[in-house]
Amino acid sequence: MTKNLRRGLLSICVMFAAITAAALQPQVMVQGYLTNAAGTPYTTAQAVQFKVYQGGIAATAGTGTVYYEETATITPSASGVFNHPLGSGTPSTAFLVVAGGATIPNSLSTTTFDTSSAVFLEISVGGTILLPRVQMLSVPYASLATTAENLKPTTSVTVVNITASSGTFTATGNTQYSIATASGISVGAGGVTAAFFKGDLYGNVNGSAGSVAANSITAGTFGSAVLLPAGNLIGGVASTNTANVFPLVQTMQGGVVGSSGSFMNGVTAGSGTFTATGNTQYSIATASGISVGAGGVTAAFFDGTHYGDASGMTGISTILRQYTSNTTAASNRNDTAIPNDDTIPSVGEGTQFASITVTPVKAASMMFLIATAHGAYSGGAACNRAFVCVFNGVTNLGCGATQLTSFPGAATAYIMVSSGGTAARTYTARFGCESADGFQLNGISTGRLLGGAMTSGLYLWELGG
């Protein structure tokens, strides 16, 4: 069966403004006259599908991009006339894929008609598409109403930028706003920022006590003459100059006039003497890189005498944290060998002759140890080589060796290791001959030499950190 939609009787009413103001989904009233091919009006309920396309051709079904579609049942009047609010039907799907692959909700809105292309309404009755499709055109006043609706303020209006060459900006009531000028002056967040200020502060050059809050003036430059009020100005500085005048020359050369507290964050001077008395905290930084502050002095180097144990000094890699040693003048024979092979000597080989228990001052310091064993072989067979080794617990830190004869020699080990923390540890020194025939410490086979002046021992320096 063929159905006709008489275009001569088709009218479209756009009612965005009033409906949008009511916060409802936008609707478009579609009115038409539905007949069969013979011109007989339809008066019974009909299943109808509506689709809104952006772009395409009026005479070709399905051309363009669908931006809205719905189904509805309409019942024409006795003369075949029907009225249907487009947007009140049942959406055919929840979402639509539009130009560029974007997904939008399937709902009639201003987005549906927001295009420079032609917008067509395609109507299907009982599965039959009625051609040509109807181009939807807005009523002029409806376009203006939509624009006015978009611009209507609610409870407040936010303006991001206002550009003006000159004029006066006025705000009343409990209003917060910010202003930034091309010259760099900014007003906002309760303060004013500018390259310089000229004129009165708070309407009065002299001001009054407490009119400038503590810490409200950041580091900068005062002019050649700054007038200060009597009493406290900033952070407890009391003016004692009867004229309340502090010229720049007087500030730099004659000293800051005040009874207590801090006057300014920075003082710049080519030369001279800085003197502070009382319980005063201050910082000084020179052009050469020396800084004084936070309880310490920082410099590229220090020349002269320092006092104390230097435990608080940093940045000097060779600073001595502590020194200790353990020596012996006793003449002892050792019959426990340290083998002359390619194995690391263990703590059970040789004989211990010195030990040091120490707690490092700094976790990142270096421990420099020297172990020296003086003596000669004393057995029946010749001991050609003697060894001395240093241990931290059972860990071998290093060894030294010497060639022996019947005359005394010295085996020395030099060790440099990281402290690895501040936990206490014990370093030990052990000596031994390559064979078990014996090594006579601090002497020869007949006994001690040099009356005890010959000593062997373990020495420790903690450095840096």
Work out how many domains the chain is built from and give that number.
2
pLDDT of residue 36: 87
pLDDT of residue 258: 41
| pLDDT, tens digit (0-9, with 9 covering 90-100), for 263-321 | 444 555 566 666 666 666 667 777 777 877 766 777 776 655 555 555 555 555 568 99
Name which residue leads in pLDDT, 77 or 238: 77
In a domain, 370, yes or no: yes
Predicted confidence band at 12 (pLDDT cuts at 50, 70, 90)?
very low
Partnered with residue 124 across adjacent β-strands are: 49, 129
Answer yes or no: is 441 within a domain. yes
Is 125 within 8 Å of 160 (Cβ atoms)? no
Question: Measuring CA to CA, which residue among 320, 448, 327, 424 is closest to residue 376?
Answer: 448
Least-confidence region, from 24-33, 61-70, 435-444: 435-444
Torsions phi, psi of 52, nearest 5? -110, 125
Reduced to 3 DSSP states, what percent helix, strand and coil does the chain have, rounded to the nearest 5?
10, 35, 55
Q: Kindly list the distances between the CA atom of residue 261 and the CA atoms of 258, 276, 298, 301, 381, in Å, as whole numbers in the listed order.
A: 8, 11, 24, 32, 83
Query: From residue 428, how far is each of 46, 261, 297, 354, 424 by CA, in Å?
Result: 106, 57, 39, 6, 14
Q: How many CB atoms lie within 10 A of CB 4?
A: 19
Q: Reply yes or no on whether the pLDDT at 202 is more than 60.
A: no
Query: Which residues are within 8 A (CB) of 53 and not within 5 positions of it... i.e. 6 or more apart?
Result: 63, 64, 65, 66, 67, 119, 120, 121, 122, 133
Contacts of 328 (CB under 8 A, 6+ apart): 353, 354, 441, 442, 455, 456, 457
Q: Is residue 245 part of a domain?
A: no
How high is the pLDDT of residue 291? 76
Q: Which residues pair with 399 in a beta bridge?
A: 389
Question: What is the rounded radius of gyration, in angstroms, for the C-alpha atoms of the chain?
Answer: 49
For residues 338 and 462, what is the distance between their CA atoms, to the nearest angstrom? 28
Residue with tokens 């800084």: 291
Contact between 51 and 182 (Cβ < 8 Å): no
CATH code for the domain in which residue 339 is found = 2.60.120.1340
Q: The domain spanning residue 102 has which CATH number? A: 2.60.40
Q: How far apart are CA 397 and CA 394, in angstroms?
A: 9
Domain boundary among 150, 165, 190: 150
pLDDT at 250: 38
Q: Is residue 394 part of a domain?
A: yes
pLDDT digit string, tens, across residues 147-193? 665 665 555 556 666 666 666 666 666 556 677 777 778 777 667 77
In a domain, 357, yes or no: yes
3-state secondary structure of 191: strand
What's phi and psi for 271, nearest 5 deg?
-165, 170
Where does a domain end: 109, 126, 150?
A: 150
Amino acid at 170: T
Please state the pTM of the whole predicted model.
0.37
Bond before 339 cis per omega within 30 degrees: no
Per the CB < 8 A criterion, the answer to whether 423 and 462 are in contact is no
**DSSP output for 158-197:** --S----SS------SS----EE-TTS-EEETTEEE-S--
From 104, 134, 150, the end of a domain falls on 150
Determine the Cα–Cα distance for residues 84 and 97; give it in Å rounded to an integer. Answer: 26
Tell me what the mean pLDDT of segment 198-211 comes to: 48
Q: Name, in order, each residue with C-beta under 8 angstroms of 395's C-beta and a sequence gap of 6 or more.
A: none
Provide the domain limits for residue 448. Answer: 320-463
Name the token pair of 445: 């086979």
| 9 within domain boundaries | yes
In a domain, 276, yes or no: no
In the prediction, which pLDDT does 152 show? Answer: 58
Tell whether 98 is covered by a domain. Answer: yes
What's the start-to-end Cα distance of the chain, in Å? Answer: 100
* 119-125 and 238-239 beta bridge pairing: unpaired
pLDDT score at 279: 61
